[in-house]
Copies of this chain bind each other. A is one copy, B any other.
Amino acid sequence: MLQLSNFPIKTLKSAPKVSDNRSTSLLLQWGYMRQAMAGAYEFLPIGYRVLRNIEQVVREEMDKAWYHEMLMTILTPRDYWETTNRWEIPEYFKVPWWGETEYRIAPTNEENVTPIMGEFIQSYKDLPCCVYHIQKKFRNEKRAKSGLLRGREFLMKDAYSFHKDIDDFDVFYEEVKNVYMSVFQRLGLWEDTVMADADGGAISDKNSHEFQTFLDCGEDTIVQDSSGYCYNLELARGVPDNKNISENENTMEYMDSVSDIVNMEKMTKYFQAPAWQMLKTVIYKLENRGEYIAVAIRGDLNINEIKLRKFIAEKYNDSFVLASESDLEELWTVRGFISPLKDSKLSIECYADESLKTVKNFFWGANAVAKSTKNINISDLDIKAFWDFNEPIKWFTSINISGEELSFKKASEVGNIFHLGTKYSKPFGLTYLDENNTTIDQIEMWCYGIGVSRLMGVMAEYFMTEKGIAWPEHIAPATHYIIVVGEDNIEAAKKLGQELESQGNTVILDDRMWRKDGFGQKAGDCELWGIPNRIVISPKTLEQGGYELMKRGEEAEIINI
């Protein structure tokens, strides 16, 4: 029983100005937690109960699936990270140790779990296997943002599974999906949570998914159609909407323009034409080769850097940076007026986004200041190939269902599944003996994350009401909140609290008798903390024979004692 007279917690009248994230600010204001420093939070008794309740749901569902819980270290030796060539990642903390060597406080635990399991995995019969742990993790963020959603210190459940091959995972995967579904269902999020195909950046390829909960303030955007297509915007595809495609192609004309039309707003104004009719071209420098490529796209669309990264990795086995002003000069063009025109001096490989096929008679520059072009059409350009480089916008249609508009929804990531392949098992030398007693050095790994402290932030947002946070009953800091009126009734209230707890409930006893703020403040705290059952014991209720019980959303009633 959390007896408030023993922990003199106070909710604040206004939110401390420390976070750009609404729910984190309110959790700070309402006494759930305090900020130790940007991105690291002290969970106070009220908040810690919520965090632990979420953690427990995750644990129980993992255990039901017979994944085994362990606890890996936070301090990890440098040689683990050198084995996988990940020591020099600046977002991962290094910890000096007596000037002799350094440790790392772990941001993720592939470097622990792989050598551990490597010791145990010997035969094909040991596969698949899966372990998990729930532990604090650390990221050396330059700027900590979004409160609980992206901290320097956070609590995560990380599971790791080991497989003979991708087929072996397919069977396993159905079970994992069920675990995640049960977790988000028990947390009350499932009906607004989807499984999206994900881009995991450096560590994933395919067989990777994100679980995303729809939230207006979410940091991601989920793109869906009715066929079940569900992607993070970073990866999503759509059919670009046709614009003036039915017009006739006019003959391209050069024209003098002005020097300052170097952004889309100024251009559309100058040419008196919509952004989609502008022919935006961006030049990139390939980092290793030192060569340049151009990408042309409709002026109302953005080039998706993740799609571009994959394209360049595949075609050129290279990475890229934006070309600089001096690079452009060298290439006989100039920012704001770049055009891959057939007869220009700009002679680099140019790719075009599919969206170029939806517009006729583009406007753009002519590779010199204040020199422009109108009525550009594809035949005027030197295009090496068309490709999907764009970030879909809401007028795009489904690639699966002809003509169906895509739906875009803001969302927050609550879990993920990444295919790690052999990225860790190879450097740590994991092998197993197959059915024929042959040593196989190909062990496929997957990792499965659920951000427990992040979930608390997402849930706070999701269950936010005007009065507080209406946590699900088994997640709330307590199931019952007892307000006791009159010093004489404290003992009766304690007794009731003990009785309720012995029946499996959890109780917050508001026995802050001496506080100037009266009943209203206490009832208010009960709402801020989202306790689903409010009890009042007062001379008045005792006169009526017992205490008053008010369940969330219901009328108060007197219960006899």
A10 adjacent to B93 (CB under 8 Å): no
Q: Please provide the chain A residues from 121 to 146 with a CB less than 8 Å away from any CB of chain B in the complex.
A: 121-123, 125-126, 129-131, 133, 136, 138, 140, 142
How many copies are assembled? 2
B116 adjacent to A34 (CB under 8 Å): yes
A97 to B130, CA, bound (A): 34
Min C-beta distance of A104 to chain B, whole Å: 10
- Please, which residue of chain B has its CB at the minimum distance from the CB of A8? B126
Q: A93-B95, A153-B74 are in contact. Are A66 and B10 (CB under 8 A)?
A: no
Min C-beta distance of A91 to chain B, whole Å: 10
Residues of B near A76 (CB, < 8 A) are: 36-37, 40
- Residues 70-100 of A, flagged 1 when their CB comes within 8 A of B and 0 if not, give 1111111100100000000010011111100
- A9 near B: Cβ within 8 Å? yes
**Chain A interface size, under 10 / 10 to 19 / 20 to 34 / 35 or more:** 35 or more
B41 adjacent to A73 (CB under 8 Å): yes
- A2 near B: Cβ within 8 Å? yes
- A347 near B: Cβ within 8 Å? no
- Please, which residue of chain B has its CB at the minimum distance from the CB of A102? B96
Residue among B7, B80, B95, B140 making CB contact with A68, cutoff 8 Å: B7
Q: Please provide the chain A residues from 105 to 129 with a CB less than 8 Å away from any CB of chain B in the complex.
A: 105, 112, 116, 119-123, 125-126, 129
Residues of B near A121 (CB, < 8 A) are: 8
B42 adjacent to A116 (CB under 8 Å): yes
A44 to B129, CA, bound (A): 14
B43 adjacent to A514 (CB under 8 Å): no
- Residues 144-170 of A, flagged 1 when their CB comes within 8 A of B and 0 if not, give 000000001100000000000000000
Residue among B3, B7, B36, B72 making CB contact with A42, cutoff 8 Å: B72
- Please, which residue of chain B has its CB at the minimum distance from the CB of A49? B69
A125 adjacent to B7 (CB under 8 Å): no
A99 to B337, CA, bound (A): 41
- A6 near B: Cβ within 8 Å? yes
